[in-house]
Amino acid sequence: MSSSAPLLDTVPMPAEGVRLKPAFDAGRLLRELTSLREHTWDQQRVYSEDGVGAATEVDWRCLALRSPGGEADRTDPGGPGPRDFADTEWLDRIPYVREVLEFIPAPLHAVRFMALGPDTVGIDHTDPKYGPRWGVGRLHVPVVTNPGAVLVLDGVEHRWQPGEFWFGDFSRTHRVQNTGTEHRVHLVIDVLVTPGLAALFPESWQSYFRDGEVLYNRQENPQTPDEVRRLATRFPVPETFHLWEDDTPLSADLPVRTASLAEQDGRAVLRLADGRVFALVHLGDHEYRFAGWSEERTLQVFPDGPDPRVVLRTRAGSGVDELTVTAERLPA
């Protein structure tokens, strides 16, 4: 087991949010949004280790454009699970929004239209690990707003306007509120942080992306089913390893559970002894991240030699926590 701590002289994030380049056509966005408003959208839901959770109690509704498995009724942000993100049927009806998404040089996770109703105030909360330090970013493109629609992010009030393109660090405390008389609707885009994404930020942020606590994600390196089957192994993992919002060190004295790397439906999956299955994304050199999440946690398989092993890692910026466990080869 080994670990490394983040550097002490790194550049801090310049602000809680920033406008990106370019701006988008607010009129085209509004027309496409209007074409999708003929039915009532579903309430926003949360996502946790137990899967899709309860709906929000306030008037906060969503339409999923990308979701786990491409399910059109998923209003939650998703996360590690049995299926990766995919386009929903709604995205086929809005070609300009698709252009906007194709412009973003980073892997896309959840993409939703999110509508906050009039006279609605959300609660103060954080979205754990939704920030560049963990390799995840959340972007907003406002479509409909009014003077009473405010995002309070880390104590700062923001009133973003239609067609603008914004990043916010939603790992900080924030609240949405709409004291106006019409819905406030944003296109909300969750992405993995990449160097291409960093290039969309203004020059004043480039030193942060160069020398700050930023976790960059590698591109997927696809494998064939046979390649995955040759890596089939069984090994112990700490019981919190699959809990992506958890901060428990891998070296902690925790109970372990049995896990296995296997091939299922042509791709690599992590199977836990309790029956849970997590799709994996291959990054190269037999290292995988969870589908639906970033490189904040990975597992790397070393199947050859007399002592097969698996290296588990969690990351935050430049810091890495690492645990090596003994593995058992399984029949291919």
Cβ-contact 108, 101 below 8 angstroms: yes
User: How confident is the model over 9-39, as pLDDT tens digits?
Assistant: 789 999 999 999 999 999 999 999 999 988 8
Predicted confidence band of residue 178 (pLDDT cuts 50, 70, 90) = very high
pTM of the model: 0.94
Predicted confidence band of residue 8 (pLDDT cuts 50, 70, 90) = low
Q: Is residue 3 part of a domain?
A: no
Verify that 145 and 238 share a domain, yes or no: no
pLDDT at 218 over 70: yes
What value does the mean pLDDT take over residues 212-219?
Answer: 98
Verify that 192 and 300 share a domain, yes or no: no
Verify that 123 and 153 share a domain, yes or no: yes
Query: What domain range is 64 assigned to?
Result: 9-211
- Distance CA(41)–CA(60), nearest Å, equals 9
320-326: long-range contacts at Cβ-Cβ below 8 A with a sequence spacing of 24 or more?
320/3, 320/4, 321/3, 321/249, 321/250, 321/251, 322/1, 322/2, 322/3, 322/250, 323/1, 323/238, 323/250, 323/251, 324/1, 325/235, 325/236, 325/237, 326/235, 326/236
Q: Is residue 54 part of a domain?
A: yes
Q: Residue 107 CA to chain centroid, in angstroms? A: 9
pLDDT number for residue 165: 98
- CATH at 201: 2.60.120.330
pLDDT number for residue 2: 46
User: How confident is the model over 257-277, as pLDDT tens digits?
Assistant: 999 999 999 999 999 999 999
Q: Which H or E element spans position 197?
A: helix 195-198
228: Cα within 13 Å, side-chain hemisphere:
22
Domain boundary among the residues 156, 176, 211 is at 211
What value does the mean pLDDT take over residues 64-83?
Answer: 95
Cis peptide before 22 (omega within 30 of 0): yes
User: How confident is the model over 224-257, as pLDDT tens digits?
Assistant: 999 999 999 999 999 999 999 999 999 888 899 9
Q: How many domains does the structure of the chain reveal? A: 2
Q: Is residue 4 part of a domain?
A: no
